[in-house]
Chain A
């Protein structure tokens, strides 16, 4: 756990170069290798990044190339991430901006052919038009990201460059910019590619979301400072990026409810929290209940509290839950959360926010389900629609994401890239279906992927994934059987063979296939078989609607 003093150094608005160097500790032996291809100095950033990386026990071995304006990637060897650390000045002095961008595109594509690892292009543009062109280049190359150094410095109102530095530091980047860039690289740009994503923030109330203690200072006595207000807005912004937020507080529920109803100026409202745990129970138990309810692991949760004792208790009982000590100065708490490695992501999709919304709607759905004995009535009361995407070329990013993220309902645990799925779609013997789901409570977006291949006269289902946000609605049969019935290659099939793999978390998927299959491959446990006739005879529950697109 970071102490207040360290937090102040690491997460002040503009950290001190010297103070960061004082926090430097030696690298551990097992380090992740990152290639840095550069034409200006990078070495100064390495010790500045280290204290930030150490907060998540990340040890990185930066393999820094020699200075090379041609970016030839000579003596390439594999690394987990490729960084292009590029000062465009030399290159722009020799050609026009258009030619430079074309050259950049050619070099990035060349590196893409050499390496399958993510590429970060860390550079700056001299004009807004160039930013647009660079963004277009980066967006056109798979798994490549633009770290805009100029934009970052604008955010902090500091100069990116100090021309003096070129003569002794081999880089024009200013001292202040170096510190800000090091923090951004370590906590956001690199960590987003290395760490499993954080999925929820569980935050304390007293002396965290406001100054004071509700039980002692009473509703009118607790203070929402400007810094606390900014923290509320930050949490709301994070929630919009698909992170669940939960409130954990040792208080009386009625007092907290009254606080939020009276103090209308609090930007965060009680209904914004996906889960609310107000009790005198240990906070580790509250976190366990939150994790179970949201259906995530406790190691995907950050717990924020001003009381070191509470953090210690959580750390003792849930050692993998992330903990943050809330600072009396809420602007520091805000930056500690903002820069917590694993929270920030390179891309935020509409689907991320849908996940949070969907969860809230699920509570209402469960209420419908518990009230309704008849499934058909349940489906029609919610106006559930399944949308089958027969040729989902436009949604390959989401489908690949599903294949790589889904754990509980993932029959074969195969991880498909967009290119894999694109190739399946272009083959006459294979089909890829995406299935979308919406009802009157929310639009869940695409929640399922099926990959199938015609082999002799049988349909081989290579993979079935259903997002956890669609589970618990008793829709698995409808999703899978309806999709299969609509497959072009299913028509003449006699058997449907499901490829399966037993994993740590995919029990719901395995239980589903075991319930339905009438035959298990005699030679291996890795396939289950259902008679095609059984699927042909499957009839959709009355309240469900199917839309084909």
Chain B
């Protein structure tokens, strides 16, 4: 799957979970809605959407859309 397609789907899922429009450069620290509780929903929902499982260190290293898309891209290529 191409990164652009992953990004579109990631942004759509985050819009559902956080209720705000984000873009490809959005950072977690800049978005009030993306707190630690919502981060759980984001991770679980993206695992559902892409049928993947994030490793523990990756979950804690995600700082924004770019790192999310990169992580998903790597996981999908490993499948």
Contact = CB atoms under 8 A, between A and B. Distances in A.
Main SS class of interface, B: helix
Given A18-B16, A21-B16, A21-B17, A44 B43 contact: no
A43 interface: yes
Contacts of B39: 168
Contacts of A167: 56, 59-60
A43 B45 contact: no
A65 to B, nearest CB: 16
A17 interface: yes
B52 to A, nearest CB: 11
A44 B41 contact: yes
A18 B48 contact: yes
B30 interface: no
A458 B39 CA distance: 70
A18 B40 contact: no
B56 A18 contact: no
Interface in A27-54: 41, 43-44, 47
Contacts of A168: 36, 39-40, 43, 56, 59-60
A175 B47 contact: yes
Interface residue tally on A, bucketed by range: 10 to 19
A169 interface: yes
A18 B50 CA distance: 11
B45 A21 contact: yes
Nearest to A15: B48
B59 A164 contact: yes
Contacts of B54: 164
A297 interface: no
A191 interface: no
A contact patch SS: helix
B76 to A, nearest CB: 17
Interface in A223-268: none
Interface string B27-38: 000000000110
Given A18-B13, A22-B16, A43-B37, A175 B59 contact: no
A178 interface: yes
A175 B53 CA distance: 10
A16 interface: yes
A10 to B, nearest CB: 15
B55 interface: yes
A44 B59 contact: no
Nearest to B16: A22
Contacts of B47: 17, 175
Q: Which 3 pairs between the two chains have the least Cβ-Cβ distance? A: A18-B45, A164-B56, A18-B48
7 contacts: A17-B47, A18-B48, A18-B49, A19-B48, A44-B40, A44-B41, A175-B44
Interface of A: 16-19, 21-22, 41, 43-44, 47, 164, 167-169, 175, 178
Given A21-B17, A167-B59, A178-B44, 18 more contacts: A17-B45, A17-B47, A18-B13, A18-B16, A18-B44, A18-B45, A21-B45, A22-B16, A43-B40, A44-B37, A164-B54, A164-B55, A164-B59, A168-B43, A168-B56, A168-B59, A168-B60, A175-B44
